């Protein structure tokens, strides 16, 4: 139990880091509490591919010894995290949910993993992903209802945080996989701007749409993690050179935002239940002082989805060009279909899709100058029953354009499943985006723990 009486596994990353610094708990106590929580719940949820018990305990002892001597490596000293099983982790298997990479053990950490460790965080283990982060489902279940999907491809990343088995997790998004799963599981999640966070050491699905993102139970935790991992990586040419602002300080400047509501397409395509909960949330935001105006999508939005899928399929085929020919029968149907479709895309069509993407991104930058954030429902429906990973249609435009997005919980469906609001900001506008998300979180509240 923490000094305040709450179980240690209930602490957010920010709360846990403060408790360790203030000597209200030790890193080893926190790790043991999370391991006990995993033992109590993961047989049902199936979030973890691998739990590195010995490694986590050894790092916790090291962190505890340093803390006792007043040495803190960074803002996450002693705080455990989980990583989707496409992130390289030195000495631990990274198999991407595929038998093709069975037994692959990298010799170095992904940059995001390395930066979290440098900030004092402890890697607890690897979390289930769909095969190669596409659509062939992982075994993971939604902690809110085990008969429903947690979303994908970052399935284990969302489920583990929702079930209180860890407070923060790394995921990735090429189409919708950092925003949709946390929404289905009642969490906050962020997909930063393309290039804000290094993808070095992440098993690639594409070269120009893969984003590293994070899931947590609070916007404050998202800001804390982004502060640690953002920034130029000399080993990754796709990372941007823009300076990294103080994201946590930005949360201190929260104010009622100017919100552009994208009713067109998004409110038209969501089901009645999502529309009802979204309208209720909008009413609460307006009542608290937010300025909400409906804005129109640019004409280039009509081709954003087609361009995004063309790019994704073509680049996925390229990423698997060496592995696929000798292993085609070992690939599952979803990823196999994407690769084979990508192999058929003519070069001129791929180049046209890249040009259309540039036009759409430029149009969205102009639209975003009018408001602080754009707003949509995060998903068209609650988490579907069964194992399909859900529809990423509400995320694709922001993945293809590379602009940053956040999801925050906004309520529950009549069947008790979480729903979220998606906020969108200009490129490298993560600081005001997090401030707006934090304000919305204060107004709408966080969801309780699911009874898994």
Give catalytic residues, as residue numbers: 84, 153, 177
**Nearest partner of 116 among 65, 168, 161, judged by Cα:** 168
Residue 226 contacts residue 214 (beta carbons within 8 Å):
yes
Cβ neighbours, 10 Å, residue 306 = 13
Write the DSSP string, 342-384.
HHT--HHHHHHHHHHHHHHHHHHHHHHTTSSEEEEES-SSSPP
CA distance 435 to 430: 8
Tell whether omega for the bond before 260 is within 30 degrees of 0, i.e. cis: no
In whole angstroms, give the CA distance from residue 79 to residue 53: 14
Cβ distance 409 to 402 under 8 Å? no
Q: Which of 290, 307, 301 is nearest to 268 (CA)?
A: 301
| Alpha-helical segments (H) within 289-332 | 304-319, 324-327
CA angle at 170 for the pair 249 and 407, rounded to the nearest 5°: 60
Cα separation, 294 vs 120, in Å, equals 44
Q: Cα torsion for 101, 105, 108, 112, to the nearest 10°?
A: 60
Q: What is the dihedral of CA 164, 166, 170, 174, to 10 degrees?
A: -20
Give the pairing of strands 258-261 and 418-424: unpaired
Element (H, E) at 376: strand 373-377
Detail the DSSP E strand segments found in 183-323: 188-191, 211-216, 258-261, 291-294
Reduced to 3 DSSP states, what percent helix, strand and coil does the chain have, rounded to the nearest 5?
45, 15, 40
Say how many residues make up the chain: 452
What are the structure tokens assigned to 14, written together?
A: 């920010």
Burial class (CB in 10 A: 0-12, 13-18, 19+), 411: buried
Secondary element (H or E) of residue 92: none
Token pair 């408001």 is found at: 371
Burial of 129 (0-12, 13-18, 19+ CB in 10 A): buried
């Amino acid at each position: 139990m923490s000094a305040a009486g709450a179980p240690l596994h209930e602490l957010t990353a920010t709360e846990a880091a403060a408790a360790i610094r203030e000597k209200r708990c030790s890193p080893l106590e926190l790790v043991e509490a999370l391991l006990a929580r995993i033992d109590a719940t993961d047989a049902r949820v199936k979030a973890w591919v691998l739990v590195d018990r010995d490694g986590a305990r050894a790092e916790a002892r090291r962190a505890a010894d340093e803390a006792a001597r007043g040495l803190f490596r960074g803002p996450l000293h002693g705080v455990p995290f989980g990583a989707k099983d496409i992130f390289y982790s030195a000495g631990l298997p990274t198999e991407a949910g595929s038998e093709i990479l069975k037994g692959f053990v990298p010799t170095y950490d992904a940059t995001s993993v390395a930066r979290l460790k440098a900030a004092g965080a402890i890697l607890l283990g690897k979390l289930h992903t769909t095969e190669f982060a596409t659509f062939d489902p992982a075994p993971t279940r939604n902690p809110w209802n085990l008969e429903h999907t947690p979303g994908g491809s970052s399935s284990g990343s969302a489920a583990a945080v929702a079930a209180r088995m860890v407070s923060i997790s790394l995921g990735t998004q090429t189409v919708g996989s950092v925003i949709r799963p946390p929404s289905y599981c009642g969490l906050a999640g962020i997909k930063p701007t393309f290039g804000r966070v290094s993808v070095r050491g992440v098993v690639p699905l594409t070269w120009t749409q893969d984003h590293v993102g994070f899931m947590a139970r609070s916007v404050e935790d998202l800001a804390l993690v982004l502060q640690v991992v953002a920034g130029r990586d000399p080993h990754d040419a796709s990372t941007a050179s823009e300076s990294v602002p103080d994201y946590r300080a930005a949360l201190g400047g929260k104010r009622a935002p100017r919100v552009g509501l994208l009713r067109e397409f998004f409110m038209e395509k969501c089901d009645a239940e999502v529309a009802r909960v979204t309208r209720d949330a909008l009413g609460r935001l307006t009542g608290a002082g937010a300025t909400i105006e409906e804005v129109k999508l640019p004409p280039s939005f009509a081709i954003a989805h087609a361009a995004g899928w063309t790019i994704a399929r073509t680049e996925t085929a390229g990423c698997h060009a060496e592995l696929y020919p000798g292993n085609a029968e070992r690939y599952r149907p979803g990823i196999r279909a994407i690769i084979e479709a990508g192999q058929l895309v003519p070069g001129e069509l791929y180049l046209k899709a890249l040009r259309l993407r540039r036009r759409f991104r430029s149009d969205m930058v102009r639209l975003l100058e009018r408001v602080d954030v754009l707003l949509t429902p995060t998903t068209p429906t609650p988490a579907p029953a069964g194992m399909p990973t859900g529809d990423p249609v509400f995320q694709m435009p922001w993945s293809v354009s590379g602009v940053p997005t956040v999801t925050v919980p906004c309520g529950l469906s009549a069947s008790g499943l979480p729903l979220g609001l998606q906020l969108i900001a200009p490129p490298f506008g993560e600081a005001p985006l997090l401030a707006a998300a934090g304000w919305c979180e204060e107004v709408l509240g966080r969801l309780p723990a699911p009874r898994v």
